[in-house]
Amino acid sequence: MAELQFREAIRAAIDEEMAQDEGIFVMGEEVAEYDGAYKVTEGLLDKYGPKRMIDTPISELGFAGIGIGAAMNGLRPIVEFMTFNFAVLAADQIINHASKVRYMTGGQVEVPIVFRGPNASAGQLSATHSVAYDAMYAHFPGLKVIYTSEPEDAKGLLKSAIRDDNPVLFMESEQMYGLKGEVSEEEDFTIPIGKGKVKREGSDVTVVAHGKMYHVAKQAAQQLAKEDVEVEIIDPRTVKPLDIEMIVKSIKKTNRCVIVDESHPFGGLAGEVGYLIQREAFDYLDAPVQRVTLPDTSAPFAKNLFDEWLPSANEVIDAVNTVTYRK
């Protein structure tokens, strides 16, 4: 094991995969000469040269589509978006083309592409730079969506995403790039897409949390442990496909569930997970499923409002108290 920053884990995944497949290249704004807006791709230009590390103009729609066309024609692009907030400009290419071209040609075309970059909010970036897009893309058939929470997951899942023959959206958080964690150094270490992880075992309540919200849930669980409430945290890691079996298995043990989701409430992942739980484990529930999400507003700028806007450990604790009927 090695201790790596989140960004180093991602870089290691890209580097290891690029080393063994000439068809992999990285394209995006500032990925090459600038060494990456968040230094994820630092040093890769020196190692792989300008053919495989390509700086683009600020033209998300155009370069996302060029990546898709290149994937259709046998390459394996990794397209970096400086943030998924800007990738909305490329949504036509991702949603209307990458996700559908295989289906509409009766299986004639494969699109082995990875779109990656930071998702959701960072500190006080206000309305246009703080949106979580994992649930939105997961809505569309043909796309896989991953939103990781820890360096080891990032490395293992990104390697799998790069090897996957489907279009994959791989989401990170700019606030987590400096986060350190133990990462496997095993040769060919990968984590399968679609498999969640029990990140903390507990017997009293299941908390489902992915991406940045895993860390909020972890903080809440530590606090609750002091009050003798043992929280089991399931990180689905992959939004689509979703490891609902692991979630259901945990609920059959704990009989209670809180979903922590960085999306807005309407039509978000928490709603889908909540539906699936009531379908698969209704008889095991001792309380209605609770969710902690963003409010149904855009992100405010003011520090106090922004803090209020984000899901917090206190909100998770309150939700746990509700499902356990403690308070």
Active site residues: 60, 129
Query: What does the block give as tokens for 212?
Result: 């940045």
Which helix (H) or strand (E) element contains residue 8? Answer: helix 6-20
Nearest approach, Cβ of residue 5 and other proteins (Å): 31
Give Cα 61 to chain centroid, integer Å.
21
Residue type, 38: Y
Nearest approach, Cβ of residue 97 and other proteins (Å): 6
Of the two residues 63 and 170, which places its CB atom closer to other proteins in the complex? 63
Nearest approach, Cβ of residue 66 and other proteins (Å): 4
Nearest approach, Cβ of residue 303 and other proteins (Å): 36
Nearest approach, Cβ of residue 61 and other proteins (Å): 5
Q: Which residues bind other proteins (CB under 8 A)?
A: 25, 51, 54, 56-57, 59, 61-75, 92-93, 96-97, 101-110, 141-142, 144, 164-166, 194, 241-242, 272
Query: What does the block give as tokens for 30?
Result: 């500032």
Query: What does the block give as tokens for 247?
Result: 């979630």
Of the two residues 139 and 215, which places its CB atom closer to other proteins in the complex? 139
Residue 33 to residues 15, 28, 50, Cα–Cα distance (Å): 16, 11, 9
Separation CA 124–CA 98 (nearest Å): 32
Of the two residues 103 and 301, which places its CB atom closer to other proteins in the complex? 103
Question: Burial level of 91, CB count in 10 A (0-12/13-18/19+)?
Answer: middle
| β partners of residue 238 | 146
Of the two residues 27 and 176, which places its CB atom closer to other proteins in the complex? 27
Separation CA 41–CA 140 (nearest Å): 29
User: Could you tell me which of 7, 262, 264 has the C-alpha nearest to residue 116?
Assistant: 7
Of the two residues 64 and 183, which places its CB atom closer to other proteins in the complex? 64
Q: Which residues lie closer than 8 Å to 88 by C-beta, 6 or more apart?
A: 131, 133
